[in-house]
């Protein structure tokens, strides 16, 4: 029987500890396969392991959580840390009792349905600091219909390890930006946040030095509102061993190569997790162990050719007086309120996003935001 496996690598989570990657490879199997997603780091925060199974063709394309597992992490000294099930199929560490230590070795054990799945012992490698995160303006088009050049923004990172202990790098990022509505409404200033949805890896083992220079991490076109007011990106860097680099490289090929989605099946993507009772049983996913470092920058600059993202927010009906407005805050919203002095009137719009920034973002300023 043919199956589709929806495999989400990383945690929605961990804003800064992993990226979310989705791909749907096609394989030949007669039973559901175990899917394990997990990363532990050296940070004083909760680590998450997700356990699910594949679902057959024709059903909802989401992993089916596996409840009631016994999940534990054991270090090289034999110290065992049990994880707690916080929601179906999601198992977490106690941040007050466990955080990874550089140069320690960790093994993941999962017990479910009278079977035991064990990872290879994984060493937590040190990771160097990110030297720099920076951007350059780029010309997207020489000019628009008004003769104004269209500018975008390419963000790069530089990093190196003088000790040459980190030869294989992986990155992800979280981006946050401020946006303003063009009207004087109560919820006028908001922020949006997105996590990276691609795999960023680099192999420096072929070079004389473990160095990454001008690695493109994010391109921002003028088709989004990211650069309109103020933008911030937090880049997280991980150190990989050779086997894990190979794993991410193959997942990247499957998830990003157009037309090549079915060229590499999960069977050929080596997992570091195995069934104790049946070593030949395939398991999807990877138990990742890495220290991490981060670097954040803010971008507040003028980019030419930025369009009007609220051009459809032309004033709608004008309501004079204080009579009730049918469908207010349901199907119509107020973008101009002139009820404090005559003549009294209000101007409405059928688009909530024009009158309330929380339709697309959150109104609470992020704690890291710098004005």
What's the 3-state SS for 175-202? EEEEEECCCCCCCCEEEEEEECCCCEEE
Of residues 198, 272, 184, 149, the one with CA closest to residue 21: 198
For 106-115, 140-149, 258-267, 338-347, which range has the lowest pLDDT when averaged over its residues? Answer: 258-267
For 52-61, 118-127, 149-158, which range has the lowest pLDDT when averaged over its residues? Answer: 52-61
Confidence at residue 19, expressed as pLDDT on a 0 to 100 scale: 42
Average pLDDT, the chain: 86
Q: How far is CA 330 from the centre of its chain?
A: 32
What number is the average pLDDT over the span 168-192? 96
Confidence at residue 79, expressed as pLDDT on a 0 to 100 scale: 96
For the stretch 47-80, pLDDT in tens is 999 999 875 444 444 678 999 999 999 999 999 9
- Domain limits, the chain: 2-125+240-292, 130-238, 318-350
The answer on pLDDT for 343 being more than 70 is yes
What number is the average pLDDT over the span 121-132? 95
HSE-CB at 53 with a 13 A cutoff on CA atoms is 13
What number is the average pLDDT over the span 322-331? 92
Confidence at residue 62, expressed as pLDDT on a 0 to 100 scale: 60
What number is the average pLDDT over the span 79-104? 95
What number is the average pLDDT over the span 274-280? 93
Q: Which DSSP category does 328 fall into?
A: B
Higher-scoring residue by pLDDT: 55, 116: 116
| E strand intervals along 204-301 | 210-220, 230-240, 273-275, 284-289, 292-299
For the stretch 290-301, pLDDT in tens is 999 999 999 999
Greatest mean pLDDT range, 10-24, 246-260, 311-325, 327-341? 327-341
Give the long-range contacts of residues 44-47, CB within 8 A, separation 24 or more.
Answer: 44/95, 44/99, 45/14, 45/17, 45/95, 45/99, 46/92, 46/93, 46/94, 46/95, 47/92, 47/93, 47/98, 47/99, 47/100
Confidence at residue 302, expressed as pLDDT on a 0 to 100 scale: 92
155-193: b or e for each residue (b if 16 or more CB lie within 10 Å)? bbbebbbeeeebbbbbbbbbbbbbbebebebeeeebbbe
CB 272 within 8 A of CB 22: no
């Amino acid at each position: 029987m043919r199956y589709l496996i929806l495999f989400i690598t990383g945690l929605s989570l961990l804003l800064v500890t992993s990226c979310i990657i989705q791909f749907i490879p096609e394989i030949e199997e007669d039973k559901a396969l175990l899917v394990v997603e997990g990363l532990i780091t050296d940070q004083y925060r909760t680590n998450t392991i997700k356990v699910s199974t594949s679902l057959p063709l024709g059903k909802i394309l989401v992993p089916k959580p596996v409840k009631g597992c016994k999940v534990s992490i054991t270090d090289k000294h034999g110290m065992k840390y049990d994880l707690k099930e916080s929601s179906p199929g999601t198992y977490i560490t106690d941040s007050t009792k466990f955080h990874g230590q550089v140069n320690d070795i960790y093994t993941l054990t999962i017990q479910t349905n009278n079977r035991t799945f064990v990872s290879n012992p994984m060493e937590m490698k040190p990771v160097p600091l990110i030297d720099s995160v920076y951007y350059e303006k780029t010309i997207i088009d020489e000019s628009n219909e008004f003769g104004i050049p269209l500018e975008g923004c390419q963000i790069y990172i530089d990093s190196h390890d003088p000790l040459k202990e980190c030869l294989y790098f992986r990155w992800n990022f979280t981006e946050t930006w401020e946006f303003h509505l063009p009207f004087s409404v109560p919820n006028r200033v908001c922020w949006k946040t997105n996590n990276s949805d691609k795999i960023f890896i680099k192999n420096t083992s072929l070079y004389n030095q473990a160095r990454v220079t001008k690695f493109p991490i994010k391109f921002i076109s003028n088709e989004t509102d990211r650069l309109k007011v103020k933008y911030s990106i937090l880049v997280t860097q991980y150190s990989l061993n050779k086997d894990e680099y190979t794993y991410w490289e193959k997942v990247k090929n499957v998830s990003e190569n157009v037309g090549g989605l079915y060229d590499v099946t999960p069977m050929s993507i080596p997992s570091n997790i195995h069934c104790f009772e049946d070593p030949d049983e395939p398991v999807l996913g990877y138990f990742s162990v890495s220290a991490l470092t981060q670097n954040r920058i803010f971008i507040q600059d003028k980019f030419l050719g930025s369009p009007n993202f609220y051009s459809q927010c032309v004033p709608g009906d004008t309501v004079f007086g204080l009579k009730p407005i049918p469908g207010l805050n349901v199907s119509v919203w107020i973008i101009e309120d002139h009820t404090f002095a005559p003549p009294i009137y209000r101007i409405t719009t059928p688009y909530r996003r024009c009158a309330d920034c929380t339709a697309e973002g959150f109104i609470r300023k992020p704690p890291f935001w710098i004005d």
